[in-house]
Structure 1
Amino acid sequence: MSLLPLIFTAGWASGINAYAVVLLFGLFGITGLSDDVPEGLQRPDVLIAAGVLFLVEAVADKIPYFDSFWDSIHTVIRPASGAVVAALLAGSDGSLPQLGAAAVGGTTALVSHLVKAGLRMGINTSPEPASNIIVSTLEDLGVAGVITLAVFHPLPAAIIAGVLLIIGIVLVVFLAKRIRRSWRRFRQWWESRQRPALPG
C-alpha cells in the first residue's frame, strides 16, 4: 500500500466515524483481503469493541441535537483514533516515522471531525429528523466506500477524501449562520436536560 495517501484517507475517515475505520481495517486484515493491515487492528478484542461502538454511533448519530452532543465528546476521540491508526500503519510499513504519520492522521481527523460537527449543527436547524438520518447514513457509506478503495487503491481514495474535505470546509463557511443558530439551540437543549424536573 502507498502509505501517505492511505494515512491521509484513514485520518479523514476517522474524523467522521473512527469506529468504522478500525472495524473495516481489522476485517480486511483478519479475512486476508489485505496483508498490510497491522496486527494491532486485527485483534479480536479491538474488533469487538469497534463493532459495538460502531453500532452505538450508528444510532446516536441519527438523533437531532444528540448527534451534536455525541460529536462534542468525540472531539478528542476521533483525532486520537486517527493518530493511532496512522502510527500503526507506519509501524507496519517502516517507510515513514510513526510520529510524523500520527501527526498527519490526527490532524486530518481533527479537521474532518470539525467539518462533520459543523455541518451536522447546520443540518439540525431543519425541523424534521429525516435529514439527520439521511446524512448520517451517507457518511457511514462514504467512509466504508473510501476506506475500501484506500486498501486497494490508496491514491485515488486520498484524492476523493481530499475533495470531500474541501467541499465540507466550503459548506461549513457557507452555512456559518445556520451553524451558529444551531449551536444556540443545542446549548438550550443541553441546558434543559440539566435542569431538575419540577414535581408534578
Structure 2
Amino acid sequence: METAATLSAIEIIGLAGSASLLAGWRLYLVVLATGLAMRSGFVPLPEQLDALQVFANPWVIGIAGFGALAEFFADKVAWLDSAWDTVHTLVRPIGGALLALAIVDPGDPAMQVIAFLLGGGGALVAHGGKAGARAAINTSPEPVSNVVASTAEDIATVGALWFVYEYPWAAAGVAAVLLALAIGLILALRNMVRRFFKREPKNVAPRTE
C-alpha cells in the first residue's frame, strides 16, 4: 500500500467517501473488515488514517462482528431485511459520518465538518438506494433473488473496501461509481413508484353521467 507521504488530499477524500458510502450498505461489515485487516497487518494504514486503529480493538471487532453476523442473516429474509433497513436509516448515516470524520486530518476543523456532513450524506444516499432496491426485490414471492442480492452486497462491500485501502489513488473513482450507483437506484425506484400509481385500474367500468 502507498505510504503516508504519497497520499494526496484527493486520495484521503476518496477513502472517506468510499468508506462512508459502503457503510450505507454494510456498516458493521465495513468496521469488522477494517478491524480484522488492521489487526492482522493485512492493511498497513498510512499515518493519516491512524484514527482508524481503534477498529482493531478486540471489543470493537467483537461488537462489529456480532452486528455483521446479525445483518448477514437478517438480510437474507425478505420481511426481516425491510425491517432491518428501516431501523438502520439513522444508524448507517451516523456511522458513515463518523468513518469519514476519522479518516480526514483531525488538525483541520473545516475539513472535519465537511467530512462529517458529506460522509453522513453519502451514507444516507447509499442506504436509500440499497434499501429501496431491496424493498422492490423483497416483493418477489421467491427467496432466491433476495439471497442473491444480499450475497452480492456482501462480496461487493468487502471487495471495494479492500481495493480502496490497497489502491488509495483509485478511491475517488470508486466513491464516484458508488455514488452514481446509489443515485441511479433511487431514481429507478422513483420511476417505478410513479409508474405504479399512474396505472389505470383494470376491470373497472367507465363512469356514466
When the two structures are superposed, what TM-score results if normalisation uses the length of structure 1?
0.81
Unpaired runs of at least 5, structure 2? 1-6, 197-209
Q: Which piece of structure 1 moves more, 42-51 or 32-41? A: 32-41
Letter of the aligned partner of 1:140 in structure 2? Answer: D
Following superposition, the deviation at residue 136 of structure 1 comes to: 0.5
Question: Separation in 2 of the partners of 1:168 and 1:87?
Answer: 21
User: 1:10 is matched with which residue: 6, 15, 19?
Assistant: 19
Question: Separation in 2 of the partners of 1:127 and 1:167?
Answer: 26
1:39 partnered with 2:53? yes
Following superposition, the deviation at residue 65 of structure 1 comes to: 1.9
Equivalence map 1:88-127=2 (5 Å) = 88-91=102-105, 97-127=111-141
Question: Separation in 1 of the partners of 2:27 and 2:193?
Answer: 23
Following superposition, the deviation at residue 117 of structure 1 comes to: 0.5
Residue in 2 aligned with 1:174? 188
Following superposition, the deviation at residue 159 of structure 1 comes to: 1.8
Displacement over 6 Å in runs of 4+: 92-96
Kept in 1, the 8 Å contact 2:24–2:125? The answer is yes
Structure number, greater radius of gyration: 2
Kept in 2, the 8 Å contact 1:90–1:101? The answer is yes
* Superimposed CA distance per residue, residues 24-65 of structure 1 (whole angstroms, 9 cap, x where no aligned partner): 111222122313352222211001100111010000011012
When the two structures are superposed, what TM-score results if normalisation uses the length of structure 2?
0.78
Following superposition, the deviation at residue 154 of structure 1 comes to: 2.4
Residue in 1 aligned with 2:146? 132
Kept in 2, the 8 Å contact 1:90–1:96? The answer is no
Letter of the aligned partner of 1:130 in structure 2? Answer: V
Cα RMSD after superposing both structures: 2.4
Letter of the aligned partner of 2:25 in structure 1? Answer: I
Residue in 2 aligned with 1:163? 177
Kept in 2, the 8 Å contact 1:118–1:172? The answer is yes
Kept in 2, the 8 Å contact 1:146–1:161? The answer is no
Residue in 1 aligned with 2:206? none
Residue in 1 aligned with 2:70? 56
1:26 partnered with 2:35? yes
Following superposition, the deviation at residue 105 of structure 1 comes to: 1.4
Kept in 2, the 8 Å contact 1:12–1:165? The answer is yes
Letter of the aligned partner of 1:8 in structure 2? Answer: G
Q: 1:167 to 1:124 in 2, by over 3 A?
A: same
Residue in 1 aligned with 2:4? none
Unpaired runs of at least 5, structure 1? 183-200
Letter of the aligned partner of 2:112 in structure 1? Answer: Q
